[in-house]
Amino acid sequence: MQDRIVITGMGTVNPLGLSVMETWGNLIAGNSGVGPITSFDSSALQVHIAAEVKGFMPENFMDAKEARRRDRFEQFAIAAAKEALLQSGLVITEKNAGKIGVIISSAIGGLQSLQDAILTNHTEGPRRVSPFLIPMLMPNGGAGMAAIEFGIKGPCFSVASACASGSDGIGTALMMLRTGMIEAALAGASEATITSTGVAAFDRVGAMSRRNENYAMTPQPFDKNRDGLVMGEGAAVLVLERESDAKARGANILAELAGYGATADAFHVTAPHEHGAGGAAAMLMALSSAKGNLEELGYINAHGTGTLLNDQAETRAMKAAFGELAYKLPMSSTKSMTGHMMGATGALEAIFCVQVIREGILPPTIHYETPDPECDLDYIPNKAREVKVSFAISNAFGFGGHNAVLALRKYS
């Protein structure tokens, strides 16, 4: 019988906290991480708000000299991985280092480092560009730095599939564990795109909320008056292991990573397919991979960005996948509190699903005021709900038509 793949550790830094428990407390309380941008002067832009990580001191998680040679997204990755490893109790030795993988993804990589280097090259000349630029900007930097930090020598890489990157990376680790290629993995994602270039670029696509004065009420996923996403940042990492290995070392198993589904819309580079066909197919694929059935599904962490098209398409995908049952399935957009952490979003939301299964509390979709006839499902508006859940899925849909869905199950 094939080993189940289980989760033994989780770690995160994000706009709601610098640990899983701090984050979870703020999440179920319905607290928002959105506020005015403090990391740079946004006065020349049309967007002045974001969901920034607050109070993060990289030297608390790594050597101060090394921290200066790492982009912010890499610092986040190390911090989240350290918390996950500590909780898991997994000790990395010369004997097992080659059988542990590191799949820490990023959609964009070191955007701040790249932006700074371009400006330096233009104003001061190429000889002033940092010799550490390439390792600071490459999207696989989080994975590579984590492997160096912890001495892990197995497969090490980053998946880049826009906002599905984190979920695709975790799904890839699941498949590698199932085939026996590795025995354990650090899997997740990290992103730090709150820069003047990042905010301007996403705003020019038409994806961003411009509710600068009334930021306490944005983003508004699934609400009729939603006006776009709010950019977030941070990292989330899971420790994944084969059940037999985790039990043999007496690990505390948090949940089972039961299934993974991935599809492409093959429709448009930024817009989702209007009928949500790709998202529906990915959800059903994840259920099939998990050998699950619709009757046991108790919660869906929605992609729920707060943009007009995404929320409509995801609602239609739910109906296409689940039929009338879609109206009975509770789902919420935690991006209403964390903002959209781009490539890292799916990894964090997988952690939320684990917490839902363990704690029996469904996080809300905050800022929900005015129902949209096109979005007419149960979005758990404004207040957390106590419900016992044994099986949940997490949706992540990205630019380029990438759809990735993870299925998580209560471990027993």
Strands (E), 311-389: 331-332, 361-362, 385-386
Both tokens assigned to 36: 């005015």
402 is catalytic: no
Q: Active site includes 48?
A: no
From the CA atom positions of the chain, what is the Rg in Å?
20
340 flagged as catalytic: yes
3-state helix vs strand vs coil in the chain, percent to 5: 40, 20, 40
Annotated catalytic residue, options 163, 367, 375, 402: 163
Helix ranges (DSSP H) in 125-164: 133-137, 141-150
**What interhelical angle do 277-289 and 308-322 show, nearest 10?**
50
* Structure-token match 């949209």, residue found: 372
- The phi, psi pair for 177, rounded to 5°, reads -70, -40
CA distance 147 to 144: 5
Catalytic residue among 156, 273, 303, 367: 303
Strand partners, 208: 229
Residues 183 and 242: beta-carbon distance below 8 Å: yes
HSE, side-chain direction, 13 A CA sphere, residue 200: 11
Q: Which of 273, 340, 367, 402 is catalytic?
A: 340
Pairing of strands 100-105, 299-301: unpaired
Q: Give catalytic residue positions.
A: 163, 303, 340
